[in-house]
Amino acid sequence: MKTTRVFLLLGLLTLLGGCASSTPRMSAVRAFAAQAPQLGAYHELTERYRTTYQREQPFLSAAADARERELDRQRQAACDDFAQLQRGVQAYMQALGRLAGDGAYDMEDQVKSLGDGIKAWPDSGLSEHHVSAYAGLTRLVARTVTRPMQEAAVQQLMRDGRPAVQQVLEAMHILLTLYGKTSDNEEKIVLGMLETELPFLDPKRDRLLQALARSQQHDKQVEYHLIAARNALAQKNLAAIEQSHRVLLDQFPHP
């Protein structure tokens, strides 16, 4: 009889756990976690920002090259930290999804990907309070590895993570603005050089060179237009995640 009661109790707990994970609020949490891939545009633009100098270099004067080479050194040092911000928010979102009953996320791998922390880069807008927020967020995510899948754990993570998530998303917005300004500057350098040099080409003697230069000019104009659109999409995606997060928080009772 005792054995039978134990099995009945275990079955009841399993059923209750399943019910908890299938409530409308838990479904909303899993839907929020599923938005994490929308952060991919930020990652792509971070990597493009990292390689700015490689694209600019053939179009630079000697003086400009020295200046841009120093900026490139700073970018290379900072971009790993910039990329970590996206990983931190993604890990937070997927941790919520796991706690809400979605077993598709491997949080041990997510925690490993967060690294040992980041540092401030004041010239970029990534400040000490963003760094502290990221550190706090990663600690919260790390705790979810051992927490059970239940609504109380979801509520706790959201309540504790709210200020950190807001600040890390703020930092990502700031950096996307930096990426946009850097791309605009790159566009001025590249297209400016082509526009300056093209009129000096002899239509007869330099016919092939002129054709290649005009083709590249057109391709670059299209490229920079698409990058500007991609940056606008990344900003829109971040704003949508912020809004979804606020809506989700409103569905849970405040302490």
pLDDT at 202: 75
- How many domains is the chain partitioned into structurally? 1
pLDDT at 127: 96
Is 144 within the bounds of a domain? yes
Is 229 within the bounds of a domain? yes
pLDDT tens profile 178-233: 999 999 999 999 999 888 878 877 787 878 878 888 888 899 999 999 999 999 99
Is 5 within the bounds of a domain? no
- Predicted TM-score (pTM) of this structure: 0.86
Is 75 within the bounds of a domain? yes
Residue 41, token pair as written in the block = 């545009």
Helix (H) or strand (E) holding 92: helix 62-99
Compute the average pLDDT of residues 106-125.
84
Is 33 within the bounds of a domain? yes
Cβ-proximal residues to 209 (8 Å cutoff; 6+ apart), any chain: 201
Cβ-proximal residues to 111 (8 Å cutoff; 6+ apart), any chain: 91, 138, 141, 142, 145
Identify the domain containing residue 186 by its residue range: 19-250
- How far apart are the C-alpha atoms of 140 and 136, rounded to whole Å? 6
More confident residue, 163 or 201: 163
Checking phi first, is residue 196 left (phi over 0); if not, alpha (psi -120 to 50) or beta?
A: alpha
Residue 210, token pair as written in the block = 């002129």
Q: Buried (b) or exposed (e) across 189-212, using 16+ Cβ within 10 A? A: bbbebbeeeeeeeeeeeeeeeeee
Is 11 within the bounds of a domain? no
